Structure 1
């Protein structure tokens, strides 16, 4: 009669145990337990992915572009949907589009850190390029567009029609397209509902101190 203990040992022998080198490699990807838990909770399908063909190539790509281990861990744990995007067909073309626009790897990385979800858009040539062109057409300097996009990429994500409406509203308020504050106003209006914006415009016109009116209109007390 075979001993039960011998059978258990045979079964356990078939379970692959990571080598010390593999275990260290996994830990070096920089994910904390909290980040792993967040990633799985937000995107359970990640458990079905093959790390060798999905996770690791994306990590290596971001590393090659200058993202730190901590940056990558934060990006993928807060926006895990990036893992379902094709590296070759989606992530790399999006990254190249941003680099061509911003003319700098550092600025491209900064924009992605501000809005990792920009990597989830199917085609930035369709969703973002028209909004950039709309600013160029009214005389917004290229340097201002780069600065604006680097720090507030989410302002460029409305559909083209809505973005043009926002630009027109900002122009009606008297903001100069050649000044940096034109972009700040676009960002503020994009984040508000139309009714909220209209209420703020009424207060703006009411005769309160100009400086207070301006910063209140933009939803900020930064300038006070």
Structure 2
């Protein structure tokens, strides 16, 4: 008797489950189940599925990114996949700090699109201290805004564990002016362990400060230290004086694959069309201050 009742319950549950996902034209009749019971059960299952689906949709986040941050609908949907905004209070404070600091209504969407989690940050404990620290480097607000609008990922790094140690290392080998130059022009390579090591390396080889100022504006600062060592050795073997700015051009030419091929083609033109010797080409280059 118990087994028969259990079997009947299983059949009833299975039939109700099928009725939930069946088409409107399909009818199931099991035992004495009434149509009203089936409709009620279908309604409850549909309500549960709809509620669950809605809870997984980031409508609030998408709407906030569009209406408050100025993102396009497509950009908002993409950005919403990287975080979920629960309430607008903290995000409103973040946007207020950015606007008060000088970020324009065209720059804010770029920042949020590139680094969506910024509006999820703590405005007083994380965002504002970073802006203030960049100001302590000697960069103006205009420079800070322009730099961070281009490379907002810097704001996603820890102030104590990444930003301060990195710039303290730069300050140990560069002037304050050059540190600001690195921030303004080279924030895209933050943080890179090779940068400080390579600056110290070329300084030990005798490169003066004004040449280093040119050197830090190149991507070669991110070269593997051993690779840069090979380039520097080749430059010196060619007879370039590291105390002259042309040595930086030679480093760039030899360190970048495309630039190196261009340099070789130019040398061939001078030598084949104008009859210059290789010594003539090098002498011309060496005469550049």
Residue of 41, 61, 69 corresponding to 2:133: 61
Contact 1:30 1:69 (C-alpha < 8 Å) held by counterparts: yes
Larger radius of gyration: 2
Deviations 1:40-84 (A, max 9, x none): 222223233232232211111112222222111112111111012
Query: Matched residues in 1 for 2:97 and 2:250: separation?
Result: 46
Contact 1:140 1:178 (C-alpha < 8 Å) held by counterparts: yes
Residue of 210, 213, 236 corresponding to 1:171: 236
SS at match of 1:178: coil
My pick for the range that moved more, 189-198 or 174-183, is 189-198
Residue 25 of structure 2 corresponds to which residue in structure 1?
Answer: none
> What is the CA-CA distance between 1:95 and the residue it aligns to?
1.0
Query: Matched residues in 1 for 2:162 and 2:247: separation?
Result: 31
Residue 140 of structure 1 corresponds to which residue in structure 2?
Answer: 206
**TM-score scaled to structure 2, two decimals?**
0.55
Query: Matched residues in 1 for 2:190 and 2:173: separation?
Result: 15
Residue 70 of structure 1 corresponds to which residue in structure 2?
Answer: 142
Root-mean-square deviation over aligned CA pairs: 3.5
Query: Matched residues in 1 for 2:138 and 2:130: separation?
Result: 13
**Does 2:179 align with 1:108?**
yes
**TM-score scaled to structure 1, two decimals?**
0.69
Query: Matched residues in 1 for 2:142 and 2:200: separation?
Result: 34
Residue correspondence of structure 1 range 12-51 to structure 2 within 5 A: 26-51=98-123
Contact 2:231 2:251 (C-alpha < 8 Å) held by counterparts: yes
Residue 191 of structure 2 corresponds to which residue in structure 1?
Answer: 120
Unmatched segments (≥5 aa) in structure 2 = 1-86
CA 1:100–1:208: 2 relative to 1, 3 Å: farther
Tell me how many residue pairs correspond in the alignment: 193
Contact 1:43 1:81 (C-alpha < 8 Å) held by counterparts: yes
